[in-house]
Chain A
């Protein structure tokens, strides 16, 4: 921590050099990914073991141990990165700590057994850039997650942190900052994709003595964790972005609305705010100038709808988290009735990059209408799951196959769902679609905040639509009749189809109602809620028809429409299935083919998992 408060860009550069010099004493830096995901896989124990080993070997003055946020590649957590060689070890355990120090750090030997092996080529990768998952990414924002200790302001400064803020406050004026952001063609990463520069300009021009900026960290999509990862791993970047935004807009107060379910993100951002305040990077007279800006942290109680900006504002004000009519837009009448600018974590974190590198540089990375990179959380039936950052305009195929390594196991790609619960499902024929706000919307899906769920043949699209509708009908705030009753009725119809009770009139009714829900609802939640139904109806209509006309679930998922039986030729009569069946539906003589009583069977699937010769048939 610098002894005196920082005054300008020069001070920051000096401070950066000072910290770098201090660090020269260390010959090696061992970085361990310790985000929520890393900790869940045991990185906490590994860090402890590493620290003990450093002490035992007397390396305290030579080796710096650093816990950072998530590095993005979930499958290989906990990950260790050793600088200066750049070696990456995967799935490390506490017992590996000593050998990593004695072999790799002291003797420069690579521990082959801890290296990542590409499952497709069988080749071992020593460096991060040799791992296919990282190779095709463009990590503008997530790169720092693997380098910066989120709890250390000096670490962020050593990485060039707060220089964008110093540049904005010291060398640019608000109009120039906005011009730069406009040039970058950065669009809101929360989902709607509104051009950020224009949003700032509206707010700057709005009449009002008091203005606010808000950071939306209420990431509620199931299976999406981009914002959590950024806030946990690099909270100062978000703060710096907010401060630059506040300077451009003319705000002196900001709020971070973060989910209470993200305790580590809350803790790290809280510490970041305190540290930045102490260093004169937040609070009164930032960097010794006239600009003052401070940040409050509000915790959300876990309502999906509070990610909608007007509902979020209402919640910050202490009211029920319910959307209201726009216009007036928050840029005109927002928090406490004052002009307010809301962006999400990823958008704010992009701002320092835009200011440091310039808007033109940033714009060149993406497409013509949208600049920069986007982080996706790639999950589902894909070989490599994790956070993926790619230039906007990258195709789905590149993301799923080049980075994600294709489908897990020997399954076939069926569909990918983008944009969270209210996104749409895109089929194989859309794999070459460049991922952008406009292209996705045209294809019947949305960019959303960046969830990406890959599905193989074992997923039933009707069942999937039912799942998301169930989520949305629970999360609808219930204000609009169209959303509250509409999503419930959509769910009712889809559930009926899954139960084998669907009729031919159900499909047109489903379409008619879905369009009304989309058209008549007030906020983004209701307007996008029918996407799962509409997109699956558009691309997978045959599956709906199979459920209704043939009373058959092609994917073998909908319980009412499938039957379990035993293939007599394969069954070896081991009776394992019979022992595990919870309803005693399987019978037969020992060492002779068994049979399933269809009337008793509850289609739980226990027998399928238990059967070694794979003799259970599901159809």
Chain B
């Protein structure tokens, strides 16, 4: 069992524990975006950086992926860590300015303005949905494709995946989705549509998979359903289905 020092406190943890877990065990706060208990550590958002080592040889590592090693000296809140974290948040906010999660982070860590031109993307490529789909939903319908600026998350060949059960797990876990379904009590156009989604939009736009973006944002699938369900109560019916499906799950 390795014993390490985090912010001056000695802690002994099981072998295989990450520095992040060890720090959280001590009650130390380290922000994360791409980390979720129950999913494999990824180390993509870099928000959880901590400083390991001393003097000239000290360096920043992502605590979620770094193993707790015997004798390791970790500092979670040095100037260097704070400076780096603030800049990372600045980069994130300029990437998806509309995200409340990111705005809250920015407020908390003092990133008061972003000096970069906003990109208005809707994904920070944290990969949580990919791991959720693969590791918890046992599906593996989505993956990263491309690299660098062309990196994105999609199904193989951008076609509807037979592995996808439209469970909505990807959206549940997404930290920046702005139109995420809020549950059965929110009767909006997108309520529950993740659960009953008939992606008719694919008939119209054969490479657009709307449940991968903010659900129902184009509205096609929802309105199709409404049309089929009769003149009135389209939305209600949708919500009802959503209700029962969710109740069944519970």
The interface of chain A, by Cβ under 8 A from chain B, is 303, 305, 320, 324-325, 327-328, 473-482, 484-486, 488-489, 492, 505, 509, 512-513, 516, 519-522
Contacts and interface: CB of A to CB of B under 8 A. Distances in A.
A337 B91 CA distance: 34
Contacts of B41: 325
Contacts of A478: 125, 144, 146-151
Contact of A521 (B46, B67, B143): B46
B69 interface: yes
9 contacts: A328-B67, A473-B148, A475-B148, A478-B146, A489-B116, A492-B116, A519-B49, A519-B80, A520-B46
Most buried by A among B62, B80, B147: B147
Interface residues of B, number: 38
Interface in B27-81: 41-46, 49, 59-62, 65-67, 69, 80
Nearest to B151: A478
Contacts of A516: 83-84, 87-88
A325 B44 CA distance: 10
A473 B148 CA distance: 6
A328 B95 CA distance: 32
Nearest to B117: A492
Contacts of A519: 49, 59-60, 80, 84
Given A474-B148, A484-B151, 14 more contacts: A325-B41, A478-B144, A478-B148, A478-B149, A478-B151, A481-B45, A481-B46, A481-B92, A492-B117, A512-B83, A519-B49, A519-B80, A519-B84, A520-B84
Interface in B110-163: 115-117, 124-125, 127, 143-144, 146-151
Contacts of A521: 46
A474 B92 CA distance: 19
Contacts of B87: 512-513, 516
Contacts of B147: 303, 305, 474-478
A480 B46 contact: yes
Contacts of A492: 116-117
Interface in B169-211: none
A285 B45 CA distance: 49
B73 to A, nearest CB: 15
A29 B210 CA distance: 69
Contacts of B88: 481-482, 516, 520
Contacts of A328: 67
A320 B144 contact: yes
A477 B148 contact: yes
A522 B91 contact: no
A325 B67 CA distance: 9
Most buried by B among A486, A513, A520: A520
Given A320-B144, A484-B125, A522 B149 contact: no
A221 to B, nearest CB: 17
Given A480-B43, A512-B87, A519-B60, A473 B149 contact: yes
A473 B150 CA distance: 10
Nearest to A512: B87
A486 B116 CA distance: 11
Most buried by A among B43, B66, B69, B91: B91
B91 A489 contact: yes
A325 B46 CA distance: 12
A371 B208 CA distance: 57
Contacts of B144: 320, 478
B111 to A, nearest CB: 12
Most buried by A among B59, B65, B127, B143: B65
Most buried by A among B116, B117, B143, B150: B116
A478 B127 CA distance: 11
A599 to B, nearest CB: 28
A519 B87 CA distance: 11
A515 to B, nearest CB: 8
Contacts of A512: 83, 87
Contacts of A520: 46, 49, 60, 84, 88
Closest 7 CB pairs of A and B: A478-B151, A325-B65, A516-B87, A485-B91, A476-B148, A520-B46, A519-B60
Contacts of A481: 44-46, 88, 91-92, 124-125
Nearest to A527: B59
A213 to B, nearest CB: 25
A488 B84 CA distance: 17
A322 to B, nearest CB: 8
Contact of A509 (B65, B80, B115): B115
Nearest to A489: B116
A482 B149 contact: no
Contacts of B45: 481
B97 to A, nearest CB: 13
A327 B127 CA distance: 21
Contacts of B116: 489, 492
Contacts of B60: 519-520
B87 to A, nearest CB: 4
Nearest to A521: B46
A488 B43 contact: no
A180 B45 CA distance: 43
B82 to A, nearest CB: 11
A475 B116 CA distance: 22
A476 B65 CA distance: 19
A324 B66 CA distance: 10
A182 B94 CA distance: 49
Nearest to B67: A327
A482 B65 CA distance: 16
Most buried by B among A485, A492, A521: A485
Contacts of B125: 478, 481, 484
A513 B125 CA distance: 20
Nearest to A327: B67
Contacts of B148: 473-478, 484, 488
A480 B46 CA distance: 7
Nearest to B86: A516
B116 to A, nearest CB: 5
Contacts of A477: 147-148, 151
Given A320-B144, A509-B115, A482 B46 contact: yes
A237 B147 CA distance: 34
